[in-house]
Structure 1
Amino acid sequence: MSVSGTALTAAPSSRKRITALDALRGVAVIGIVPMNVIAFSMPANAYLNPRVWGGTGELEVALWAISSVLVEDKFRALFAMMFGAGIAILLGKKSDHPLRAHTARMAVLLAIGLAHAIVLANNDVLRIYAVCGLLLPLAVNWPVRRLLWAAGLLIAGQLAVSGYYAWGWLDYWYQRVSGLTIDLAPLDMAERTYGGHPDTTAASLARGQEGLSERLVRRVSDPMLQVRFIVASIPSALASMLLGVALWRGGLLAGEWEPRRALRLTRACALAGIPVLIALMAWSILSGFDPIVTAANALVWSAPFDIVLGTGYAALAMALFGGAMKDHRATRLFAAAGRMALTNYLASSVIFAALFAGWGLGLFGEVSRGKALLLALIPIAAMLAWSPPWLARFRQGPAEWAWRSLSGLKRLPLLRDRGRERAP
């Protein structure tokens, strides 16, 4: 039976933790670190365009190309899928007031996300997850096929709207490179918005070197910035969450698929996504990282294929962690990191702020893309090092504990009950 089979309407059992799913969540939170390090270490436009900052030598371009095809936004989509599946699991558990408890969790998560965005990471995803999470109860019990259709329609709708504007920009780009127009005003605007215009880069460098109090004042004084970011991100994030619910209800994320079946889905997703992503990456390079081409490819045309490849990663991880690597030490390490996903996500921002922010070591704008990616190994190693011993002593990560305690307006136990664990 395929993942879209209409018979798969009953939610899988959620009575015990699924180690493979925890490990997949660990892979997701680790996978967004190489993306976030660029946002923390370089001017904003370098996130999309290596010509802006970080170098365009062979090594830097190769690193950008690998990230563009295999990493960028794929793991963000995967992280959103894990969030959607997690909500489906929680809402599937018996509770006196499940919707009230869920709404409280999302409200607290929104507050955490806003604080995280204002103080540390302007690309925080928790704000978006909290808002989209409020909508998920409407769809969490839908049949798998309907969930897949809804996710597909959201992706198609976003592509239609953003593609309409991107097509107009690409038409100008084609006319310019073909010599049909010499009007450079739109190009100047594109360079300011998505490229390496000196004014834009200088402003970004100044923001990266500001003190903590300066940053807080600037971000609090522009509340609409938060609103615009959340609204623009809702379609893709909600589509990924609906897909995560579908993959849970369809049995893949519940560990009910045979590894061979999951690998078939992996191959299908890779064949559907990777060739297109390679073509878009090559187009950006051949254009000389033209801001119009590079931004359109990264923000618009690649979006559906990012989600497709993220699905392939989910299937591959479940096949490995639930199959050949079921009892492997690496699976346990990833699972521990996944059980503390919120803590680890926030902690990686603290580490990056300590390295790059003006109130930290001040390395913002001082490293190449290669060096930045090497520094990304620090929070990854930290996650894998501290998660297992922490969970050996405590029930959950500190951020998870605070989130749930605040949501329920009561202090939950954090230490493990050693006596009960030793009881026969």
Structure 2
Amino acid sequence: MDRRGTVLTAPGPSGERVVALDALRGIAVAGIALMNVYIYALPPAAYFNPAAAGSESALDWIVWGLSFVFVEDKFRSLFAMLFGAGVAILFERAQQIENGHPLRDHALRMLVLFAIGGAHAILLANNDVLRLYAMAGLFLPLFLRLDTRRLLVMGGVLMVVHVVGGTLIAYQWLSAEPGTQQALLPASAFGANPEALRYGHMVGTESFAERLARRITGFGPALATQVPAIPSTLGTMLVGAGLWRSGLLQGSWSRERCLALARRLALIVLPPLVLLMLVDRWSGFTGAVVGPVSLFWSLPFDLLLAIAYAALVMALFAGRESALRRVLAATGRLSLTNYLLTSAVLALLFYSWGLGLYGTLSRGGAFAIAAVPIALMMLWSPLWLARFRQGPFEWLWRGIARGRFGPIGR
């Protein structure tokens, strides 16, 4: 049994893998591709706002509506939850090892992850989450002495802090005088501002050298935009650690209990998500409304639906062997590599140094293209693990953090 792992792929504290948890990781990394495709295919504002670009038909609007309710930030929340669970697992394993240095080792892992995320952001993905996970993850050990209930409560408290702070920002945007910076910022970032859309088109069609220069010089300001998301990301990670401690992510809950939780949470969160979708529509997709809806007000419901997804997957796959579970588990064991390779595939499809499809597809067409990296990760992951014990970037992350590289092969 493979006892190696990173925060994103760690087996249980005993070293035994929870295969259903690996399958859940696979679903999370595949689900992220369903929204990340818009970062490559359309101007940045279109990620949040269907009125900004890419919505020429009724199908495009249907795709947006279904994505908003069921996809947007749900799988990113799930990925962050699993990150938190992974940290909790590694600390539990460290307690079983004498003369260990769990805090030092954790800090090194986060530093290396930040470096990987930085390279990812500069070379490929404007919306890289690894840097954010590294920054939020640094604070995780401060809370891991809490019991299950307190971990979940603290996660909720941090999410409330995020929503309250975001609501204050939203108030400033909504009450700003037209033409002021406070009014122009959300219009450019989340609205259909013509100048912002032209800039987005220029960025989407730039050369690799132009991108490299732009992202290196803009690295600091881009990173600063992630700092306000640290509380909500940390809160989501704490929820993941709490769900591991509760036994849900260990596969120890009964199928009936998992299904009951999934059903209850879905009934709670789907009406508010539909209402928020309608708020976007009633506002005429004004940037000052679209931004807060996506970044602040929907996030608690995104997290709860992510928990429902986790419970549903554990009900379907815990203790139930199948070919689908094996494929998804292999995909999840290579989650870091698959996350990075998804960016490489989408860059080759949409950027100028690849096929140059940027701006040529509708929202529905771009959504369909996400099937390409998803199919590739599900195809190559089992083949890779048949020969190697971990993914190339998992091996790189672990080796740099530990200061030595073990064999990647079996």
Q: TM-score, normalised by structure 2?
A: 0.92
Q: Map of 1:374-393 to 2, 5 A cutoff?
A: 374-393=368-387
Query: In 2, Cα distance between the equivalents of 1:248 and 1:311?
Result: 12
Measured against aligned partners, the alpha-carbon deviations of 1:1-43 in whole angstroms (never above 9, x if no partner) come to xxxxxxxxxxx85330000000001011011001100011110
Structure 1: runs of 5 or more not aligned: 1-11, 173-180, 417-424
Paired residue for 2:104?
Answer: 100
Q: Which of the numbers 212, 215, 222 marks the counterpart of 2:218?
A: 222
Q: Which of the numbers 391, 394, 405 marks the counterpart of 1:397?
A: 391
Query: In 1, Cα distance between the equivalents of 2:226 and 2:367?
Result: 27
Q: Which of the numbers 165, 172, 189 marks the counterpart of 2:169?
A: 165
Output the amino acid matched with 1:302: S
Measured against aligned partners, the alpha-carbon deviations of 1:51-80 in whole angstroms (never above 9, x if no partner) come to 111114211110000000000001100000
Q: Is structure 2 residue 373 aligned with structure 1 residue 369?
A: no
Paired residue for 2:37?
Answer: 37
Q: Is structure 2 residue 298 aligned with structure 1 residue 302?
A: yes
Identity across aligned pairs (percent)?
A: 47
Query: In 2, Cα distance between the equivalents of 1:276 and 1:235?
Result: 22
- Residue 188 of structure 1 deviates from its aligned partner by 5.5
Paired residue for 2:138?
Answer: 134
Residue aligned with 1:371, SS:
helix
Query: In 1, Cα distance between the equivalents of 2:185 and 2:83?
Result: 37
Q: Is structure 2 residue 215 aligned with structure 1 residue 211?
A: no
The answer (yes or no) to whether the contact 1:14–1:89 under 8 Å persists in 2 is no
Distance of aligned partners of 1:21 and 1:201 in 2 relative to their CA distance in 1, 3 Å threshold: same
- Residue 367 of structure 1 deviates from its aligned partner by 1.0
Query: In 1, Cα distance between the equivalents of 2:219 and 2:184?
Result: 28
Paired residue for 2:158?
Answer: 154
Paired residue for 1:244?
Answer: 240
Distance of aligned partners of 1:403 and 1:282 in 2 relative to their CA distance in 1, 3 Å threshold: same
Measured against aligned partners, the alpha-carbon deviations of 1:319-378 in whole angstroms (never above 9, x if no partner) come to 11115xx11111111100000000100000000010111221111111111111111101
- Residue 226 of structure 1 deviates from its aligned partner by 3.6
- Residue 203 of structure 1 deviates from its aligned partner by 0.7
Q: Which of the numbers 250, 257, 261 marks the counterpart of 1:254?
A: 250
- Residue 259 of structure 1 deviates from its aligned partner by 1.0
Q: Which of the numbers 195, 198, 201 marks the counterpart of 1:199?
A: 195
Deviates more, 1:287-296 or 1:404-413: 287-296
Distance of aligned partners of 1:290 and 1:381 in 2 relative to their CA distance in 1, 3 Å threshold: same
Paired residue for 2:57?
Answer: 57
Paired residue for 2:7?
Answer: none
Paired residue for 2:9?
Answer: none
Residue aligned with 2:265, SS:
helix
Paired residue for 1:26?
Answer: 26
Output the amino acid matched with 1:328: S
- Residue 165 of structure 1 deviates from its aligned partner by 2.3
Query: In 1, Cα distance between the equivalents of 2:166 and 2:143?
Result: 25
Pairwise CA RMSD: 1.7
Output the amino acid matched with 2:30: I
Paired residue for 1:109?
Answer: 113
Query: In 2, Cα distance between the equivalents of 1:203 and 1:170?
Result: 24
- Residue 189 of structure 1 deviates from its aligned partner by 5.3
Deviates more, 1:190-199 or 1:304-313: 190-199
Measured against aligned partners, the alpha-carbon deviations of 1:244-286 in whole angstroms (never above 9, x if no partner) come to 0000011100111111111111112111211100011122223
Distance of aligned partners of 1:247 and 1:57 in 2 relative to their CA distance in 1, 3 Å threshold: same
Measured against aligned partners, the alpha-carbon deviations of 1:133-176 in whole angstroms (never above 9, x if no partner) come to 2111121231011111211111111111111221344467xxxx
Larger radius of gyration: 1
Measured against aligned partners, the alpha-carbon deviations of 1:79-132 in whole angstroms (never above 9, x if no partner) come to 000111011111111342222222211111110000001110010011011112
Query: In 2, Cα distance between the equivalents of 1:222 and 1:352?
Result: 22
Distance of aligned partners of 1:250 and 1:196 in 2 relative to their CA distance in 1, 3 Å threshold: same
Q: TM-score, normalised by structure 1?
A: 0.89
The answer (yes or no) to whether the contact 2:143–2:151 under 8 Å persists in 1 is yes
Residue aligned with 2:354, SS:
coil
Query: In 1, Cα distance between the equivalents of 2:118 and 2:403?
Result: 20
